[in-house]
Structure 1
Amino acid sequence: MKTNNFKAYCLGGGLGSLSAAVFMIRDGGIPGHQITVFEKLPTLGGCLDGARLDDGSYSLRGGRMLTTDAYECFWGLFKDIPSINNKGMSVKDETIAFNKKHIAHSQGRLVDKNCHIVDTSTMGFDMHDRLEFLKLLEASEEKLGTSKITDWLSPGFFNTNFWYMWQTTFAFEPWHSAVEFKRYLHRFMNEFPRINTLGGVKRTIYNQYDSLVLPLIAWLKDKGVNFELATTVDDIIVEDINGKVTVTSLTVINKEGPKQVSVNPDDIVIFQNGSMVDASSIGSMTQAPVKKTKLESKGWTLWEKLAKGRPDFGNPAPFNSSIPESFWESFTVTFKSSEFFDKIEKMTGNEAGTGGLVTFKDSNWLMSVVLYNQPHFIDQPEDIYILWGYALHGNRVGDFIPKTMVESNGQDILKELAGHFNFDDNVFEDAICVPCRMPYITSMFMPRAYNDRPKPVPESSKNLAFVSQFVELADDVVFTVEYSVRAAQTAVYQLLNIDLEIPKITKHDKSPKVLIDSFFKAIK
């Protein structure tokens, strides 16, 4: 048990930091008032965001896929966080109950250039695809090394139904890491037989800020945790003490200016190194998002400084050095009538909230949209409807507008969307589309060496832990809320010497039923 003088500092207000604070209190017995969370934005939640804008429209950068068949640490956390929507229920219980009522079963997962729903009962593999696929699936991570997916699979594979569905469900590109792709195939092998229906995908009642972040904040505030928002951690000062890298102070900057925060050797610092949504920018109906990079945001600076000369602190360069390979754009559309939703529900046969992603497989932008159950925000009026979408190939010229997506404003995106659905433009009358550019959103998928990601607590560290999508957790998959929570739990248990077992990863790839189902799906 730590003394009353003990302090814990969480640098960044994303899910990793918030989860770490919960584990310190729940499992480590640390009083909440001894924990401080610094966040440079005026809001918490990191990439789990969602907000109503001044003009009444809504904006979401994105949302992580949930599943109740995995995410062991995530649900282990949220079983103890009370819902703010349903008194007497946990967030976990609330989410399970919601998904029993709104069952996912997509009937229009892929749409072709003629606006016809594609038959996705077959994966579209030929024997050559299957043999290459199996070879990659069985290769060791050492053998895969820094290779790309394209180093293992031939061009024809990337025209299969499977690739279009798996790629857009998890946001992979052909040039991404073969190691990460393989990890996903193993971790989510139980989703392989139902990837065309998205039957394993679960949703929260509202967007993930309202459904996950707000309950976490409420719980932590009730425990007395200190939140310092609009506060930038400008520097982490470390010293070598008894052969261990030890944080001794922090330089933080808020509206009142810079200040030093002393850190004792027995205190702990939880650092969110790197960010998928770093340097994000949103546009409007008349303006495309501004192109920002890490130079403007300085979101990677601290990790780059700490890692210099310290191999076990990782190497940020493979992740943040090629924006064309790590970015995509999303968009949120606010409708003032149900007309668009009615048309899509009729076209796909899915009510909003039951269909998941609809992907235009032949679109130059590789555009996908999802109709969430409405309302998608706690404060959303009854006559407002929210659509979210994204496109993986933002540097390509559109099919219906002579612009790339990165050059496009909200009005342009609506024209492109209308063209793919073969709708008249008037279906978007009074609609507001807010585009969002995220230059590093799939940076964690970039090819990298094993040591490029630090362990949550590096061997040379005394009191500093890393918590993000850019730490190394064996066998787990990075673009998930589970990864953030598992990293936080691992870091806190190690730093506080908590003698509790961290939930093991469910080995669906060892289940005879899953293996049989996957085999028969692959040969169809």
Structure 2
Amino acid sequence: MSIETANIKAYLVGGGIASFAAAAFLIRDGNIPGKNIYILEADDITGGSLDGAGQADAGYVIRGGRMLNFTYRCTYDLLADIPSLTDPRKSVYEEIMAFNDQVKTHAQARLVDKNAVIQDVSSMGFKERDRIDLIELFAIPEDVLGTRRIDEWFQPAFFQTNFWLMWCTTFAFQPWHSAVEFKRYLIRFIHEFPRIHTLAGVDRTPLNQFDSIIRPMQTWLKEQGVQFIMGARVTDIGFIPGIKEKTAEKIFYRHNGQAHTISMAPHDLVFVTNGSMTAGSTLGSMTTAPAPAAAGDNGSWALWKTLAGKYSDFGRPYVFNSRIEEAKWASFTITSKGHLFFQLMEQFSGNKPGTGALVTLKDSSWLLSIVLAYQPHFLQQPEGVTVCWSYGLFPDKTGDYVKKKMSECTGEEILEELIHHLQFTAHKASLLAEANCIPCMMPYITSQFLTRAKGDRPLVIPKGATNFAFLGQFTEIPDDVVFTVEYSVRSAQMAVYGLLDLDRTPPAIYKGQHDIKVLYQTMRTMHR
């Protein structure tokens, strides 16, 4: 270890997967001592959007879940060096692979109609115009697409196809989202076209992602000496005045109501997770609806706004956090003290828990989708307790059975709507009696998919930055796709390698569009 490396301190703003990954890469690849790394998190718990919390009596909560894929090279590279909590002889990566070898995903009820009839989704349902539009979208440069929306590229009939209903609920796209982001997804996951109806290409974690990824990573980081400063809300970063270079020299934060300042040496590093897709989330209960989503520059959005006022190439946060109506949706977690709901779902779908991925109620006005995870889904989850997760893409539409907007419904009302759609009404009283349904409203959950222009997202390492980098979903990484764990981890790897000037690069982005076999299978799928 060089003297320079031993003296470098690194400060990571935000306690999500991007900061965790950056800290791990600083230690593993940059030889930075763990004791020199500080993670400042405004909340009293880490994990960011990879969350999972609660207990059987009060109910568990999962705001969302990110799917994994064999093409997540940066993520799997990282997790290959993190010991599993349940078996330290294995890495987290080995644990995930072993689990997916045991529990195979193959959805048999991907789309269900209003009569609770499972649909045949072997055909994508395309007309020739849809195929032409897709092929042209593959070929057109991003600069030409600009800020165009998806529904400005395709005909209205496209949004009624099996393909769109499966694609949009797998990845949470809306017709008004960015055509550029949709194009990136089509290319990035082109290898998944032939099995989009079964989701057989999805890798899952054995437990919820907080327990399976965040807990073991935090345990390992603490063992390396990384210091966690919880309840620390960073409000500003001070830079040395200069025209060509951007060198951070101070970090301003509030902790326990007191203002604090960290003075940095020029060789110290600071990494900021800018923006948050789960900021401003509100929870309801069986008897209350979540508080309405409200726009505002809170948390990491406020810090990004402050930083963006300093340099024009630090991005434009208002593009993403001022359009709640285009970005929000609601999820809900059902904790049941019993197995009845799981038994009914298994009989209905033909899938055991953990093997069915998404079941989407395609005619639901809320466009509901439900996931039955392999059980247990939480560490120390008691026997006899089951946990599943669901979400609705259209929370401001009126329900088909409960005549209220989803956003205004209690957990009991949301569960009633789901029970009616699945035609489990004969068991309604028993299902409601054993369930605790906690709804969650997320105002910014797909804000990273909103239409945007060049420069709205900052580069991971802005031009002229000597010791400063952005991390996470609202950075610009050419060719990769947001709303994935991989995007956050890749941003961390790019930032660490770039600022430390290491003679190494992150693993190349998988590009199945250059594989003739993948292209052939994709074309066959488009004509099914």
* TM-score range normalised by the length of the shorter chain: over 0.9
Alignment of 1:295-444 (within 5 A): 295=296, 297-308=298-309, 310-424=311-425, 425-426=428-429, 427-444=431-448
Equivalent in the alignment of 1:15: 17
Which runs of at least 4 in structure 1 moved beyond 6 Å after TM superposition? none
- Number of aligned pairs? 523
Q: Which amino acid aligns with 1:462?
A: T
Secondary structure of 1:38's counterpart equals strand
Distance in 2, Cα, partners of 1:450 & 1:311: 12
Equivalent in the alignment of 1:478: 482
Q: Which amino acid aligns with 1:22?
A: A
Equivalent in the alignment of 1:57: 59
Is the deviation greater in 438-447 or in 51-60? 51-60
Distance in 1, Cα, partners of 2:7 & 2:26: 15
Match of 2:472 among 446, 458, 468: 468
Equivalent in the alignment of 1:230: 231
Equivalent in the alignment of 1:191: 192
- Deviation of residue 130 (structure 1)? 1.1
Cα deviation digits, residues 174-211 of structure 1 (max 9, x gap): 00000000000000001111000001011100000000
Secondary structure of 2:434's counterpart equals coil
- Do 1:365 and 1:396's aligned partners in 2 also have CA atoms closer than 8 Å? yes
Equivalent in the alignment of 1:239: 240
Distance in 2, Cα, partners of 1:295 & 1:121: 44
- Deviation of residue 5 (structure 1)? 3.3
Q: Which amino acid aligns with 1:212?
A: I
- Deviation of residue 52 (structure 1)? 1.2
Q: Which amino acid aligns with 2:165?
A: Y
- Deviation of residue 314 (structure 1)? 1.2
Cα deviation digits, residues 268-298 of structure 1 (max 9, x gap): 1000000011111111111111124352734
Q: How high is the sequence identity, in percent, across the aligned residues?
A: 48
- Deviation of residue 309 (structure 1)? 5.3
Equivalent in the alignment of 1:506: 510
Equivalent in the alignment of 2:521: 517
Q: Which amino acid aligns with 1:456?
A: V
Distance in 2, Cα, partners of 1:115 & 1:343: 13
What CA RMSD, in Å, does the superposition of the two structures yield over aligned residues?
A: 1.2
- Do 1:279 and 1:292's aligned partners in 2 also have CA atoms closer than 8 Å? yes
Cα deviation digits, residues 55-74 of structure 1 (max 9, x gap): 43100001101112x00100
Distance in 2, Cα, partners of 1:443 & 1:41: 21
Equivalent in the alignment of 2:500: 496
Alignment of 1:257-272 (within 5 A): 257-272=258-273
Length-normalised TM-score, structure 1? 0.98
- Do 1:294 and 1:300's aligned partners in 2 also have CA atoms closer than 8 Å? no
- Deviation of residue 430 (structure 1)? 2.3
Length-normalised TM-score, structure 2? 0.97
- Deviation of residue 54 (structure 1)? 8.2
Cα deviation digits, residues 86-144 of structure 1 (max 9, x gap): 23110111100100000000000000001000100000001111111211121111111
Q: Which amino acid aligns with 1:30?
A: I
Equivalent in the alignment of 2:134: 133
Which segments of 5 or more consecutive residues in structure 2 lack a partner in the other structure? none
Q: Which amino acid aligns with 2:219?
A: A
Is the deviation greater in 127-136 or in 95-104? 127-136
Q: Which amino acid aligns with 1:437?
A: M
Equivalent in the alignment of 1:150: 151
- Deviation of residue 350 (structure 1)? 0.5
Is the deviation greater in 151-160 or in 312-321? 312-321
Equivalent in the alignment of 1:453: 457
Distance in 2, Cα, partners of 1:258 & 1:291: 31
Distance in 1, Cα, partners of 2:294 & 2:11: 27
Equivalent in the alignment of 2:284: 283
Distance in 2, Cα, partners of 1:126 & 1:512: 24
Distance in 1, Cα, partners of 2:56 & 2:519: 50
- Deviation of residue 252 (structure 1)? 1.4
Which segments of 5 or more consecutive residues in structure 1 lack a partner in the other structure? none
- Deviation of residue 3 (structure 1)? 4.4
Secondary structure of 1:24's counterpart equals helix
- Do 2:373 and 2:387's aligned partners in 1 also have CA atoms closer than 8 Å? yes
- Do 1:279 and 1:299's aligned partners in 2 also have CA atoms closer than 8 Å? no
Equivalent in the alignment of 1:123: 124
Is the deviation greater in 26-35 or in 255-264? 255-264
Secondary structure of 2:39's counterpart equals strand
- Deviation of residue 235 (structure 1)? 1.8
- Deviation of residue 256 (structure 1)? 5.5
Distance in 1, Cα, partners of 2:135 & 2:316: 31
The 1:353–1:54 alpha-carbon spacing in structure 2 relative to 1, beyond 3 Å, is closer
